[in-house]
Amino acid sequence: MDPRVKPAGDGAVCVRSWHGRPVDGFVVRKEIKDHGPERKIAGNFKPDTNVILFDDVTTKGGSVMQAVRAVRARGATVKKIITLVDRLEGATENLGKEGIELIALYTTRDLLG
């Protein structure tokens, strides 16, 4: 992975990366917490970088687009989004309109046969 690309959203990816090529990561919160760092984005975020966002499940892409907007507002560029499961309900098309590639490890078709 290009060292200028910073994945976000899944701490496990960052932790696992320490066994090979370390990857910096950060979390984009849906809501600002009233405890701890009172920020929408927490962790090793760096403006003016290219990032890959990780999401567990995508449906239409609305939730992950909130994270995209937060990251863009802080000066980074979202290159693609990797999701564990795409429910095949429009996320690929909706994110594509924003110039963002969605990569699904599985779809509901894969899981439900």
Question: In this predicted model, what pLDDT tens digit does every residue of 33-44 receive, in sequence order?
Answer: 665 555 788 888
Q: Under 8 Å CB-to-CB from 39, ≥6 apart: which residues?
A: 29, 32
Residue at 106: amino acid letter? Y
Q: Is the pLDDT score of 5 beyond 50? A: no
Q: Reduced to 3 DSSP states, what percent helix, strand and coil does the chain have, rounded to the nearest 5?
A: 25, 30, 40
Determine the pLDDT at residue 8. Answer: 46
Alpha carbon separation from 57 to 8, 33, 71, 79 (Å, rounded): 15, 22, 19, 18
Percent of the chain with pLDDT over 70: 73
CB half-sphere exposure, 67, CA atoms < 13 A: 28
**pLDDT tens per residue across span 8-49:** 445 566 666 666 666 677 888 777 666 555 578 888 888 999
* Structural domains in the chain, sorted by start: 5-112 (3.40.50.2020)
**pLDDT tens per residue across span 45-95:** 889 999 989 999 999 999 999 999 999 999 999 989 999 999 999 999 999
Tokens 């995508």 correspond to: 58
Q: What is the pTM of this model?
A: 0.77
Alpha carbon separation from 55 to 19, 36, 47, 68 (Å, rounded): 22, 23, 20, 11
Determine the pLDDT at residue 39. Answer: 72
Determine the pLDDT at residue 2. Answer: 42
Q: Which of 54, 47, 44, 51 is nearest to 10 (CA)?
A: 54
Q: Is the pLDDT score of 7 beyond 70? A: no
Determine the pLDDT at residue 3. Answer: 42
